[in-house]
A and B are shown apart, each in its own frame.
Chain A
Amino acid sequence: MLKAVYYTNQFFAGLGGEELADIGLGMFDEPKGPAVGLTRQWKGEMEVVRTIYAGDNFINVDENFEAIGDELLEMVKSTQADVVLAGPAFNAGRYGVACAKVMAFIGEELGIPVVTSMWWENPAVEMYRRRVPILSSTETAAGMRKSLPDLGKVALSLAKGEPLGPARKVGYFPTDKRRNEYVEKTGAERVVKMLLRKLNDEPFITEVPLRTLDRVIPAPAVVDLSLARIALITVGGLVPKGNPDNLKQAFSVAHGKYELTDSNPLTSDNFESIHGGYDTTYASADPHRLVPHDALLALKEEGVVGSIYPYFLTTCGIGTNVESSVKIGEAMLRDLKEGEVTAAILTST
């Protein structure tokens, strides 16, 4: 028979209410509270061999949690459990966080499948949904009879070694992981169907959730250009001929830093654009179209600008995801700070 370990709080373990919320870690070698129903539901395929509990206040204090970590893992390990589950926590905030936190810890440390369950507005959902499968439960314990079997069903499936199915199918909150699969209907069928549902005021859920972009606040304007040290940056893909650093033509992950010297002028003999997103003919024919070093030099001679950073920074801005863009931006910033740059001109294409 498969073995499950169940985690719960002082209340569902039957010890007491709020007055015992500070109780430390403990266990019973038998099902307690909702776990009794779980063992019944599994009809001999699996049983709860251990119920672990802790008070909600106790476990939510970081120092306590750190202190009991090893003991908690040992309590699970010694049972050779096939799955560990917790909850349902409904809309109980402290219990929800306790369930999710304990499940995340056990899952990540021991590699045993874990699962819990709670109401969608429980703060633990947003905190832990990326680390633990959290099933959607009813809002209050009045829905125990619906929510507990859902939890039991998924736990049994995980204990059998079955892979966890898609979020929408199984009913857990998305972990933000997405896999390419061949689904039942073509894109054409689905895009028409979704429009019809929208037109008929029927519920529909977008397949691609919008992940809101950060808003970037522009830096304040340069007060006195004659004191500024200016850098030239381009996302137009200008590199020394032959692309010595093998910068990517699209989907960039890094930037290049190349010296602007008199001995290596910005000409088509020395530089070229490798950008994969536009016709680079004119950019390569005169690289100043991407990196206007000539114009900046003239301004320096006129005394309009203070000094020029003796390198240009470059990457290819096409198909670059935001995460890579942030990394590239941070790496550029390190170069600029090191070069004591106070202002920059960024040219895009």
Chain B
Amino acid sequence: MNKVLKRYVYKVDSVEFGEKSKLENGHLTISKRELQEAVQPLFEHVKSVDFELVTPGSDTRIIHLLDTILPMIKRTDESGRVYSGFFSDPYMVGTGSTNVMSGLAVMESCALPWDEDSASSGLLYPRDAILDMQGPIAGMTPFSETNNLVILYELEEGRSSAEYDDEIRYIGLRVAMTLAELTLGHPADYIETYTIDEVDPELPNVVLVWQCQNQGPYANTLLYGVPIDDIVPTLLHPNEMLDGAVVSGNYVWPAFKVPTYSHVNHPILLELYRLHGLELNFRGVIFCRSHNPTNWHKLRNANMCVKLAEYLDADGLIMAWEGGGNAAVDGMLTIQTAEKHGIKCSTITFEFGGQDGSEGVLLVDDVPEANAVISGGSIEKAVTLPKVSRVVGGDVMRLNKETGGFFPPADEPITFEQTIHFYMSGNQCGASKLSAVEY
């Protein structure tokens, strides 16, 4: 195999709106008009978009947060297009050169309709995802440290969930790719080279199993442009993920959903890359679906994952999943199967435990083989959000649909008994430093 990806990194230190979009010496100027023109042709179920900028450390809250996207673009056309499958045929990516912005995230914010006869019924309703740029929950997400361009969507009425879902994503990706075009023709701040071609026989071989949620519109993960409904566990080169082969369409559980940005800059994947050739050989990503419907399907999934790990001569496996209890069962079965086949595992998950940590079991499911479990923090901890001077995304939060809805003002202090509404608070892709510490 000869697969090398060069990432040309362009730092975005500051950002403002202006007449003409440009990137100069780390200062990004964004023209709303230019972005609107770029996405206008995509409008069918979206009526209009507007944009807001949110900067690190500002006294700002973002609500109705759907996905977050990394602006990037292929340096030349020869090695395909990023987010392959969306604005292109699904050609293989992961080689050549990609321009990536660092310090800028594109966010989608939209209060998707709570319809009873659409994907918004039951599980699939988009629960309000909340991000604070400072204060107690800022550390739960990496995006309190980035400049964020928030896309605010105004929807046409009466369209289906699938239609909104698709179009919002296309617009978000288009905005991210349009901004990344500003890097073309400019020298990068630095260049990173990604390859796992060389394997040091003295070092242990390690794979990442990345198991993603896929349960229908608003709760999907897309691989090369298609939801992974019937996926059989498959092998990805980590460079494919760096180039955006995996895209999120998951808006349901704010704590657990993994944004596209973090599929691309996957924290565990990047850490394995950092140690590749030094302490381990990173042999690849096994990509599969969580929420398999029965124990039988979950076992089938686990065995196929481990089979692929064996093909890669894996000594060690990191099990990571998107989702809550259902996904944990898939993950635990994969750990058990791997350990039975002589592959050692570690994993990271959110935990329960009640307000003081002492109540009941900590995990929905566990197996005796899961003896190396990193805590991504407990979701059963009360948190009071402070008053903020600015809210982006709307004036009121939308909570507790199941009990008729609760719509508190979005800028006022509010106490949550659990952390499930805080963006990425489940910490299952390893992005944050949140952990439940034993006392």
Instruction: Name A residues whose Cβ lies closer than 8 Å to a Cβ of B.
Output: 130, 164, 166-168, 174-192, 194-196, 198-200, 204, 206-211, 213, 242-243, 246, 248-249, 251, 273-281, 284, 318-319, 321-324
Contacts and interface: CB of A to CB of B under 8 A. Distances in A.
B64 to A, nearest CB: 19
B303 interface: no
Contact of A207 (B270, B280, B354, B374): B374
A321 B351 contact: no
A213 B332 CA distance: 15
Contact of A181 (B348, B364, B400, B435): B435
A211 B366 CA distance: 9
Interface size class, chain B: 35 or more
B344 A280 contact: no
B246 to A, nearest CB: 16
A59 B432 CA distance: 49
Contact of B431 (A188, A242, A251): A188
B121 A279 contact: yes
Contacts of A176: 357-358
Contact of A323 (B216, B315, B320, B354): B354
Given A176-B358, A195-B206, A321-B359, A206 B326 contact: no
A174 B436 CA distance: 13
Contacts, number: 226
Contacts of A209: 362, 438
Given A178-B439, A196-B279, A206-B372, A188 B430 contact: yes
Contacts of A187: 267-268, 348, 374, 376, 427-435
Given A181-B435, A186-B432, A208-B373, A319 B325 contact: yes
Given A182-B139, A277-B326, 18 more contacts: A176-B357, A179-B436, A187-B268, A188-B431, A189-B271, A190-B374, A191-B320, A192-B280, A192-B346, A194-B346, A195-B346, A199-B206, A199-B344, A249-B402, A274-B402, A281-B121, A318-B324, A321-B354
A161 B92 CA distance: 61
Contact of A279 (B216, B352, B368): B216
10 contacts: A177-B438, A178-B362, A178-B436, A180-B419, A186-B430, A188-B430, A191-B320, A192-B268, A208-B373, A281-B121
B418 A279 contact: no
B349 interface: yes
Contacts of B363: 208, 210
Contacts of A276: 122-123, 402
A251 B418 contact: yes
A198 B316 contact: yes
Contacts of A246: 403
B62 interface: no
A98 B326 CA distance: 45
Interface stretch (B27-35, B82-90, B377-385): B377-385
B346 A208 contact: no
